[in-house]
Chains A and B, each alone.
Chain A
Amino acid sequence: MSRSAAIAIIDYGMGNLSSVHNAFDALDCPSTIAAQPAQLREAAGIVLPGVGAFGDGMRNLRERGFIEELEKQVRDGGKPFLGLCLGLQLLATRGFEHGENAGLNWIPGVVERLQLPPGLRVPHIGWNDVRFVKKDLLYTGLGEMHAFYFVHSFAFRPDDPRVVSGVCEYGGEFVASIEFENISATQFHPEKSHQHGLSVLRNWARKVAAPC
Chain B
Amino acid sequence: MLKKRLIPVLLLQNGLLVRSELFSIHQVLGNPIHEVERFNHWSVDELIYLDISRDDRYDLGRDDTRVRGLTDRLGILQEVAKTCFMPLTWGGRIRTVEEMRERIARGADKITLNTAAVRTPELITQGARVFGSQAIVVSIDSKRLPDGTLEVFIDGGRTATGLHPADWAREVERLGAGEILLQSIDRDGAGEGYDLPLISAVASVTTIPVIACSGVGRYEDYAEGIRAGASAVAAANIWHFKELSDRGGKRALAKAGIDIRT
Which A residues are closer than 8 A to B by beta carbons?
Answer: 15-16, 18-19, 22-23, 25-26, 51-53, 121-129, 147, 149, 151-152, 169-170, 189, 191-195, 197-198
Contacts and interface: CB of A to CB of B under 8 A. Distances in A.
A127 B107 contact: no
A189 B135 CA distance: 14
A187 to B, nearest CB: 13
B86 interface: yes
B24 interface: no
Interface of B: 1-5, 43, 45, 81-88, 104-109, 131-135, 178-179, 207-209, 231-232, 261
Given A25-B82, A147-B261, A169-B1, A126 B231 contact: yes
B134 A19 contact: no
Contact of A18 (B3, B43, B81, B232): B81
Given A26-B85, A127-B45, A16 B134 contact: no
A193 to B, nearest CB: 7
A192 B81 CA distance: 11
Contacts of B261: 127, 147
Given A18-B106, A125-B134, A191 B81 contact: no
A128 B5 CA distance: 10
Contacts of A197: 85
User: Which one of A22, A127, A151 has the greatest number of beta carbons of chain B within 10 Å?
Assistant: A127
A126 B3 contact: yes
B87 A192 contact: yes
Nearest to B83: A26
A129 B1 contact: yes
B81 A19 contact: yes
A113 to B, nearest CB: 13
Contacts of B207: 121-122
A195 B207 CA distance: 30
Given A16-B109, A147-B261, A125 B209 contact: yes
14 contacts: A22-B81, A22-B82, A51-B134, A53-B132, A121-B209, A122-B207, A124-B2, A125-B179, A126-B3, A126-B5, A126-B209, A189-B87, A192-B86, A194-B85
A127 B135 CA distance: 16
Contacts of A22: 81-85, 107
B209 A193 contact: no
Given A125-B178, A151-B134, A192-B86, 14 more contacts: A16-B109, A18-B105, A19-B84, A19-B109, A22-B83, A23-B85, A123-B178, A126-B3, A127-B3, A127-B5, A129-B1, A147-B261, A151-B87, A192-B87
A123 B179 CA distance: 9
Given A121-B209, A122-B207, A128-B1, A192 B45 contact: no
B178 A126 contact: no
A53 B86 CA distance: 22
A193 B109 contact: no
Contact of A127 (B2, B88, B104, B106): B2
A84 to B, nearest CB: 13
A149 B2 CA distance: 10
Contacts of B2: 124, 126-128, 170
A128 B3 contact: yes
Contacts of B232: 126
A16 B133 contact: no
Contacts of B5: 126-127
Contacts of B135: 51
Contacts of A128: 1-3
A149 B88 CA distance: 12
A192 B11 CA distance: 21
Given A16-B104, A129-B1, A198 B45 contact: no
B82 A149 contact: no
Pick the most buried of B86, B106, B178: most chain A CB atoms within 10 A of its CB: B86
Given A19-B109, A126-B45, A149 B1 contact: no
A152 B109 CA distance: 13
B107 A19 contact: yes
A121 B231 contact: yes
Nearest to A129: B1
A16 B132 contact: no
Name, among B3, B106, B108, B134, the residue most crowded by chain A CB atoms within 10 Å (CB to CB): B134
